[in-house]
Each structure stands twice: as C-alpha cells, then as structure tokens.
C-alpha cells in the first residue's frame, strides 16, 4: 500500500496509535506498541534498581568504590551470560518459555547484546556451536513475559519458580542469584591462552587494578608461569577458530558475514574478504589451507606465538594482505579490518565487548530515569500515554527519514531511541521490517566520535524539519538552522514593501500542526534531547575534546541569536531559542558538548589528575605518570613526577587523591619507599 502524501490531522496530543505509518513509500502497521514500550521501561527500571542495590552495599568493593562495584558486577554478569547461552537447553524445555528466562543480571547482558543487532545476528551464524545455535533461539526477547516477572512497584525480580531456578542452576552450574557483594578473595576459573591450563585462582579484584574485572588485568599462569591479559585470551579464540576452519568446520570471522551496506548475509562475500585479508597470514602460516592431519591445537599454538597473541599484530598482517604496497600505519586503519581484529581483543564468546557495552548502555537508562519514564505507574493510565504514542510515531518517522537519507547516520532523540531499542529487541522482526521498509539492516553503533555524531545529528534535524515541517528537538539544545536563504529573505522584504517585522514572542504565533511528532509542553521537552549514549569522546582531557566542546557551544550561541532574530518568520526556532536560554539557567547541558558524558566519577578523577600530571611534567621538564590503583580497600589516583627533573634531590613528589576528590596531600618518598606497582615508567 502506498503512503498518503498528507499528514494525519490531530486536534490534540494523540493517546492512541493510528492503524498505520508511512515508511519509505509504503504503509505499515505499528512495528512496536505502547505495551511493549511499557514493558521495556519496567525492565530498564529493574536494571537501574539492580545497579542501585549493588552500589549501596557496605561490604566488599562497594565499601570503597561504588563505581568499581558496578563494573565488577557487570563483569560477573557477562561471564554468567556466556555460561547460560552456551548450555544445552533442549532436553529441559522445547522452545523458549518462562522456565528458561534467566536471572535479571543475565537478562541485562542479553538485552545489551540484542541492541547490537548486526553483531548478534552474525554471532548466531558464524559457527555451528551450541552457543551460536542458542543465540538463534533468543534472538527475540519476550519483553512482556520478562516484565511480568518483575514487581511493578519495587522493580525487584519476583521469586523464580522452583523449576525455573532449577533449570538455570542445572545447565550452568551456577547459583541463581549473583551476589551483590564481591570480596577480594572471590575468584573465577580462566584458561591460560598460552598453555590452555585452567587457572582456578584468578581474582575478580586485585591490588594494582590487576583483577579480572579491572582494566589492567594480568595473571601469571599457575602452570606455564607466563603472564597473560584479556587481549591474549581474545587472540586464543582467534587462533582456535582458524584451526576449526582448517579442520573443515563451518567458521566465519566477525565483520565478514554481513554485507556492510545492507546487513544481509553474504557467505560468498565473506569468503572472498577473508581470502584477501588473510593473504599474508596464509603465505606464512597456511591459515587458508586444510590441516591435512596436522594437530589443530599445535597449529593454533604456533599461529598464536607467531602473532604474539596480539590483535594489533593480527591487524598489521591483514592490512599487509589487503594493501601489500602500503606501509602499515596503526593510526589510520581500514575500519572493517580493524573491527575484525578488535573483535579478538577481549575474552568471551561474543564479537563485542559486552562488559563495555552494558556499561555504556547504563547512560541511556539514567536518561530514562531522569525523564521519570521508569517510575512505577508513570504510564498506567491511558490518558498519560501521549509521550509513548508520540515516541512510537516519531520512531516510524525516523525510519521513514532513514529510508531516504541513504549513506547518512541518522541520530535519534531519547524518545525515538527508546522505541528503536524496543524494536531491536524483537530481533527477527526488526531485521525483516528494516530490510523491507528501509532497504538495509541498521546497526546501532555505540562508539562514535562526538564531532561525527553532532554533525550527523544536525543533518538529521535539518532533514526532519524539511520533511515533516516541525523541529526534531525542542529540549533547549541548539536551534534548527535558518531554513531560508538570505536572498529569499531579501526578496520577501521587497515584495512586502519592507514592512517592519513582527517581533512578538514566538509562543504567541506558533501553531503545532503535528502534535503526533512534537510537543510544546515544557514538561515533555527533555524526551526530545539527542541520544548520546553511543558517543565516544576518547580522552576528555585532551585538547581536541576541549576544542570540540567549544566548537559546539559557539555554534549553539550563533543559532540561538539567529533564531531569536528570526522568530517571527519561524516561530519554532523562536521557541527553541527561548527554551535554550531558559533551560541553560536550569542546568540543561548542550548535547555533544560534555566530554565527560558517560564516564563514572573514578574515571573523571583519573583523567583530571592525568591532565594535571602532564602540566606538572611539562613545567618540570619531566615525564609525568598517572595511575589508578584500584585495591580492595581504596581507589587512589597517583601522579608521579620524575625526581631528578623536579629538583627534589633524588626524592620524588607524589600527589595522591581519592576518587571522591578530597583535598590532595603531597608526600615525599624515596625510591625504596615506593610500592612496586608505582615504579616510574
């Protein structure tokens, strides 16, 4: 059915969905509904409550660092997800019903995994393993079922049935509840990537930040005595998959199976890409040739040793295969090859770092909390459902815009992102719907440079207003650019006899012809704020981050001034300018202008001290070093300045600061007094 050219006519804010929406020249019934959004919001509220409970513990890691406690908990949840997703279910329950729904922490990881739709689909088809087979069974998250297992008032999980708990514990070997508290003595079992011996005494947290759930994880194998890291473990997965493929098993590597533009499965294209990318690897180590009776484990070991179990070396070799006449430049990687190699830079069974993805997703949940949308009872009454109905309508308009904005990243607002995420959780339907109406399978990249994202957002906002006649966002961020050229405005002046402009406030002349797509109510403004959880600022203390922030602020100021001046011509821009000035006083942050967005307090403190260390080092003519020491009892940021250049007669100056920004204290220590983990680099 062809879409109608005329937009629907509304007399007030709609509280019910229409029968259909136009997308790309076709009409479709709603791809998501209000009930599904309500279920999703309850689930997000439960995740938020879970995080709160973890951080409120007075024992273990949480006693000294709330942020670290959550990071450790997420690490443990990801390990539990892998055990659950690689277990055998079929002989317990045919199909998938309530009895197979795992604990909330595992659901949280599953939820985030599905919000990376291309990665999830590819991982489900890369190999013929139990894990991949199970992913096909959980490609559709039963949102309403799972939300029914959460208390609607407390947002705590309801006690599981005996059968549900028994199945989970039997197939995984894990207890149903994941302890909210992690002690320094808690361990997990991890195989050594070098000798494959399982190490049973690997701690989640350790002095110097060396625990498995910490950024600087290192462990000395209890058998071969070699020290290994998470990237080493990821590369073990790569060399094992190469041997599996050489043994005749069906194996496709990450970032190869799906056609990049459309996201459709292309096995022939995958083989062609691998033959090209692995050319140098094959010349040296026969990675594209059958084993012919050779020991697959020994061959994997030899390949890993040759690559130093380092994904950067793997990337170098693939670049040489694709561009043999070009010098390897690690600062300018080919994106697809780099994504392939990075997929082996962390342990686990997924081609995405699920720990990092869950932590990034938390920033979106915070925004939903701030909107009040996860509050129990918020949308129980049909009369209160207008924001969710509008969220769904805007999402369909977003897909319609995406269908004509080929080659451009369309950046969602918070309300659109909620509906988009809800659609992505319906994995198979999301893939079929988007291929049918948008002609491609959109991923939801959560690792984008802020300048690229802000530029893409500006393009999205401009295209939205041109297509639908109303602004994309009215939250108080940057107003839309002036849609009229100077020449057309001058011509308009001439034709009207150079009449004086009407400078009356925008709110008096504004008429909202699309209440399904935009609200002028102040208390609904924030939901149209740009969604930023997929942003990657890199180092927010770097001068580039400061320049990007200043660039965005200058652009906003110019747009506000222009919008105020031209309010009579475009009252929507006038409203945006008024909101910008009013809400800035209320603490509203300009989108894409906060380089610390998404960082927790420990990281922000460390970055601030890193910047200070660099300044002190430059002034002293010395190398300044910063390190975050995350122990069981405290989290300390240490700034060290080389003693000789600092002029302290052989005694270094150390500044120490706890994560809660207490006033720092200077200590003078001799070389022998320094802890070994603080040795100057």
In a domain, 325, yes or no: no
Shortest CA distance to 224 belongs to which of 158, 162, 301, 130? 301
Distance CA 570, CA 502 (A): 11
Q: What is the pLDDT of residue 619?
A: 44
Report how far residue 599's alpha carbon sits from residue 360's, in angstroms, rounded to the nearest whole number.
Answer: 9
DSSP codes joined into one string, 469-512: SS-S--SSSPPPPPSS-HHHHHHHHHHTTSPPP----GGGT---
pLDDT at 635 over 60: no
Residue 597's pLDDT band, with cuts at 50, 70 and 90, is: very low
Judge whether 235 and 213 are in contact, CB under 8 Å.
no
pTM, two decimals, is 0.80
Q: Are residues 438 and 544 in the same domain?
A: yes
Whether residue 204 contacts residue 75, with contact meaning beta carbons closer than 8 Å, is answered with yes
User: How confident is the model over 498-524, as a mean pLDDT?
Assistant: 66
pLDDT score at 472: 92
- pLDDT over threshold 70, residue 322: yes
Tell me: do 388 and 534 sit in the same domain: yes
Among 239, 404, 395, 201, smallest CA distance to 317 is for 239
Determine the average pLDDT of the residues in 277-286.
Answer: 95
> 609 is in which domain, residue-wise?
601-678
Residue 530: predicted pLDDT = 85
Is the pLDDT at 467 greater than 70? The verdict is yes
Range of weakest confidence among 368-382, 450-464, 522-536, 626-640: 626-640
Q: What is the pLDDT of residues 358-373, one digit of tens each?
A: 999 999 999 999 999 9
The torsion defined by the Cα of 647, 652, 658 and 661, in degrees rounded to 10, comes to 0
The reply to whether 549 and 651 lie within a common domain is no
Residues 426-433 have a mean pLDDT of 96
469 with 575, same domain: the answer is yes
Q: Examine the domain organization and report whether 579 and 487 are in the same domain.
A: yes
Do 403 and 545 lie in a common domain? yes
* Beta-sheet pairing, 665-669 with 652-658: antiparallel
Report d(CA 119, CA 121) in Å as an integer.
Answer: 6
| Domain-located, residue 169 | no
**Mean pLDDT of the 107-117 span:** 98
Residues 487 and 630 in one domain: no
pLDDT, tens only, 559-585: 656 655 555 567 667 676 666 666 566
Evaluate whether residue 530 is within a structural domain: yes
* pLDDT tens figures, 198-234: 999 999 999 999 999 999 999 999 999 999 999 999 9
Q: What is the dihedral of CA 294, 300, 305, 306, to 10 degrees?
A: 70
Final residue of a structural domain among 585, 613, 638: 585
Q: Residues 568, 666: one domain?
A: no
Triad 492, 478, 446: Cα angle to 5°? 135
Has residue 269 been placed in a domain?
no
**pLDDT tens by residue, 6-54:** 555 555 778 899 999 999 999 999 999 999 999 999 999 999 999 999 9
Q: What backbone torsions phi and psi does residue 440 show, to the nearest 5 degrees?
A: -160, 170
What is the reported pLDDT for 584? 66
Give the pLDDT band (50/70/90) at residue 591. low
**Residues 536, 649 share a domain:** no
- State how far the Cα of 402 lies from the Cα of 423, in Å rounded to an integer: 15
Of 425-434, 503-512, 596-605, the range with the lowest mean pLDDT is 596-605
Is there a single domain that holds both residue 610 and residue 483? no
Segment among 387-401, 440-454, 489-503, 510-524 with least mean pLDDT: 489-503
Indicate the residue among 557, 585, 613 that finishes a domain: 585
pLDDT of 417 above 50: yes
Q: Give the total number of structural domains in the chain.
A: 2
pLDDT band at 648 (very low <50, low <70, confident <90, very high): very low
The Cα–Cα gap between 111 and 424 comes to: 10
Choose the final residue of a domain: 585, 613, 630: 585
| Average pLDDT value over all residues in the chain | 80
Least confident of 347-351, 494-498, 569-573, 675-679: 675-679
Q: Is residue 239 part of a domain?
A: no
Task: Give the pLDDT of residue 630.
Answer: 38
List, in sequence order, every residue forming a beta bridge with 543; answer none if it has no partner: none
The rounded radius of gyration (Å) of the Cα atoms in the chain is 27
Whether residue 267 is contained in a domain is answered as: no
568/675: higher pLDDT: 568
Determine, yes or no, domain membership for 170: no
| pLDDT confidence of residue 219 | 98
Judge whether residue 62 has pLDDT over 80: yes
Query: On the CB side of 560, how many CA atoms lie within 13 Å of its CA?
Result: 19
Check whether 638 has a pLDDT greater than 60.
no
Which is nearest to 350 in space by CA: 71, 170, 109? 109
Nearest C-alpha neighbor of 111 from the set 360, 277, 322: 360
Q: Which residues of 32-53 are buried (b: 16+ CB within 10 A; e: fewer)?
A: bbbebbbbbbbbbbbbbbbbee
- Taking only the tens place, the pLDDT of each residue in 606-631 is 444 444 444 444 444 444 444 433 33
Asked whether the predicted pLDDT for residue 411 surpasses 60, the reply is yes
Per-residue model confidence (pLDDT) at position 11 = 54
Do residues 470 and 619 both lie within one domain? Answer: no
Which strand ranges, in their side-by-side order, compose the sheet holding 624-630? 624-630, 635-641, 652-658, 665-669
- Do 412 and 544 lie in a common domain? yes
678 has a pLDDT exceeding 90: no
In a domain, 281, yes or no: no
């Amino acid at each position: 059915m062809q879409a109608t050219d005329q937009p629907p006519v509304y007399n007030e804010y709609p509280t019910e969905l229409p029968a259909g929406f136009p997308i790309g020249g076709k009409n479709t019934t709603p791809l998501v509904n209000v009930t599904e959004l309500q279920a999703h919001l309850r689930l997000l509220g439960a995740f938020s409550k879970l995080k709160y409970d973890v951080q409120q513990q007075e024992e273990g890691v949480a006693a000294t660092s709330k942020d670290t406690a959550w990071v450790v908990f997420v690490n443990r949840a990801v390990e539990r997800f892998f055990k659950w997703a690689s277990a055998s279910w079929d002989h317990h329950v045919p199909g998938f019903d309530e009895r197979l729904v795992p604990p909330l922490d595992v659901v949280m990881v599953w939820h985030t995994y599905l919000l990376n739709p291309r990665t999830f689909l590819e991982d489900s088809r890369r190999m013929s393993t139990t894990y991949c087979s199970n992913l096909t069974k959980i490609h559709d998250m039963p949102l309403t079922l799972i939300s029914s297992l959460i208390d609607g008032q407390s947002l705590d999980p309801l006690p599981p049935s005996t059968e549900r708990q028994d199945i989970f514990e039997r197939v995984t070997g894990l207890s149903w509840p994941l302890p909210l508290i992690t002690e320094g003595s808690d361990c997990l079992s991890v195989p050594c990537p070098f000798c494959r011996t399982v190490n049973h005494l690997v701690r989640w947290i350790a002095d110097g930040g060396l625990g498995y759930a910490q950024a600087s994880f290192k462990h000395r194998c209890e058998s071969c005595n070699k020290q290994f890291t998470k990237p080493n473990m990821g590369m073990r997965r790569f060399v094992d998959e190469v041997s599996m493929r050489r043994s005749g098993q069906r194996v496709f590597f990450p970032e190869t199976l799906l056609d990049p533009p459309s996201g459709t499965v292309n096995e022939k294209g995958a083989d062609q890409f691998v033959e090209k990318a692995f050319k140098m690897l094959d010349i040296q180590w026969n990675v594209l040739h059958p084993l012919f009776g050779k020991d697959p484990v020994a061959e994997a070991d030899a390949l890993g040793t040759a690559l130093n179990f380092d994904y950067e070396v793997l990337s170098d070799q693939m670049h040489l295969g694709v561009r043999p006449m070009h010098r390897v430049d690690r600062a300018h990687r080919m994106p697809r090859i780099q994504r392939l190699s990075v997929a082996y830079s962390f342990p686990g069974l997924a081609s995405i770092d699920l720990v990092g993805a869950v932590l990034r997703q938390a920033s979106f949940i915070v925004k939903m909390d701030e909107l009040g949308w996860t509050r129990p009872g918020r949308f129980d009454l049909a009369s209160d459902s207008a924001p969710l109905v509008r969220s769904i309508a805007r999402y369909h308009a977003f897909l319609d815009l995406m269908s004509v904005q080929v080659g451009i990243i369309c950046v969602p607002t918070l309300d659109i992102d909620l509906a988009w995420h809800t659609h992505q959780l319906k994995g198979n339907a999301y893939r079929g719907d988007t291929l049918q109406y948008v002609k491609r399978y959109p991923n939801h990249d959560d690792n984008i440079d802020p300048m690229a994202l802000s530029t893409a957002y500006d393009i999205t906002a401009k295209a939205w207003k041109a297509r639908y006649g109303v602004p994309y966002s009215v939250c108080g961020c940057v107003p839309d650019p002036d849609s009229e050229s100077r020449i057309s405005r001058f011509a308009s002046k001439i034709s009207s006899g150079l009449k004086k402009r009407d400078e009356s406030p925008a709110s008096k002349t504004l008429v909202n012809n699309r209440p399904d797509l935009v609200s002028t109510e102040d208390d609904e403004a924030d939901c149209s704020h740009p969604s930023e959880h997929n942003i990657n600022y890199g180092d927010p203390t770097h001068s580039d981050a400061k320049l990007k922030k200043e660039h965005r602020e200058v652009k906003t100021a110019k747009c506000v001034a222009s919008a105020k001046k031209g309010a009579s011509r475009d009252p929507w821009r006038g409203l945006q300018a008024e909101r910008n000035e009013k809400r800035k006083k209320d603490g509203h942050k300009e989108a894409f202008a906060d380089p610390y967005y998404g960082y927790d307090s420990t990281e922000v403190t460390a970055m601030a001290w890193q910047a200070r260390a660099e300044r002190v080092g430059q002034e002293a003519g010395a190398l300044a070093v910063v390190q975050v020491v995350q122990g069981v009892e405290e989290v300390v940021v240490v700034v060290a300045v080389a003693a000789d250049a600092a002029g302290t007669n052989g005694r270094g100056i150390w500044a120490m600061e706890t994560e809660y920004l207490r006033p720092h204290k200077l200590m003078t220590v001799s070389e022998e007094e320094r802890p070994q983990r603080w040795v100057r680099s």
